[in-house]
Amino acid sequence: MDDGGVLSTDFLLATLISLIIISALVGFANTSIDTAKSTEFSKAKMVGETVARSINMVYTQGPGDELNITLPGDFNYNITIKNINGKAAVVVNYNNRESISYLIFNTNKINEIPMLPNKTYNIRNEDNSIIIVEVK
């Protein structure tokens, strides 16, 4: 074979190896991004479970009990207290994914309120009804 044929074969082989390496790097980058999103969704779920646990604790302590809770603000999510099939639930939305934590009482005993990151809320039990208000 002449020098031109060897050069073409070497070039094709080098191009093939480069494409394989680039494909692998893109795959690793996508995996890293998915892992980061999954980690942040797990953090959002933990925040929702903390809110649900706090609300349940105030409810079980009885009338007159209250506490303040500050939601972390290091990523973007929103929490809503709402009625799902007749049960009160804390619903966390993050990046088009949803996590639901049910409360131990019915929805007629809690006000439905959106809760946002980096804000403080007062949760209080008034005659076995839960009232949640933003602390300003």
Q: Is 27 left (phi over 0), alpha (psi -120 to 50) or beta?
A: alpha
Which pairing describes strands 120-126 and 114-115: parallel, antiparallel, or unpaired?
unpaired
Interior/surface letters 88-106, b for 16+ CB within 10 angstroms, e for the rest: bbbbbbbeeeebebebebe
The answer, yes or no, to whether residue 60 has pLDDT greater than 90, is yes
24-38, 44-58, 91-105: range with lowest mean pLDDT: 24-38
Q: What pLDDT was estimated at residue 57?
A: 95
Task: Give the mean model confidence (pLDDT) for residues 31-43.
Answer: 74
Cα 115-128-88 angle, rounded to 5 deg: 45
> Looking at the DSSP assignment, which residues form a beta bridge with residue 92?
79, 99
